[in-house]
Amino acid sequence: MTPERSYAVALADAAMDAGRPAETRRELSDFLALLEESADLRNFLASPAVATSAKQGVISKLVERLGASETIRNFLFLIVDHRRVWQLDGIVQAFGQELNARLGILEAEIRAARELDAQERQSLVAALERRTGKRIEPAFRVDPGLLGGVVVRIGSTIYDGSVRAGLDRLRARMAAV
């Protein structure tokens, strides 16, 4: 198990025990956004020259300002104490995957030839949820390389409903005749 995954699993355990997985995800994301906005803050927290107590003081104030939980504060203290600030992006990503797995949520990358309207999106997500038996968290994007239709990736499974794939299947059937 990678260090990122170990920290992610520990935080997921704490979030689930507290009954606050969604809130913990949001709070962690909010804190990460602060780090992304400020290179000075990231450097301050990652610097071995800065005392841990000073880092914890800054974290406490930021957590309070964000209205985040004690779980997030303690987790960030642990990250700073173990000098893992530089791995926080990977930890947050692993945490999201761990929570999704525990909550029965699958992430789906959905590429379409054009922008899908709200009803099309809803219908596609509902069909995927029926097919997988799990809740789908979609990420939609337009792929101008597609002639038409959609291509869905859920983990390592690809559902190819593109026009190109349909034409390829038709070509293969005709060649077999």
Q: Is 17 exposed, middle or buried (0-12, 13-18, 19+ CB in 10 A)?
A: exposed
Residue by residue, pLDDT tens for the chain (177 residues) are: 888 899 999 999 999 999 999 999 999 999 999 999 999 999 999 999 999 999 999 999 999 999 999 999 999 999 999 999 889 999 999 999 999 999 999 999 999 989 999 999 999 999 999 999 999 999 999 999 888 889 999 988 888 888 777 777 888 888 887
Domain 105-176 falls in which CATH fold? Glutaredoxin (3.40.30)
E-only strand ranges, 13-156: 105-112, 135-142, 149-154
User: What CA–CA distance (Å, rounded) separates 22 from 96?
Assistant: 10
Domain 3-101 falls in which CATH fold? Peroxidase; domain 1 (1.10.520)
Q: Which residues contact 103 (CB under 8 A, 6 or more apart)?
A: 21, 135
Same fold, 3-101 and 105-176: no
Task: Kindly list the domain boundaries of the chain, sorted by start residue.
Answer: 3-101, 105-176
User: What CA–CA distance (Å, rounded) separates 41 from 176?
Assistant: 63
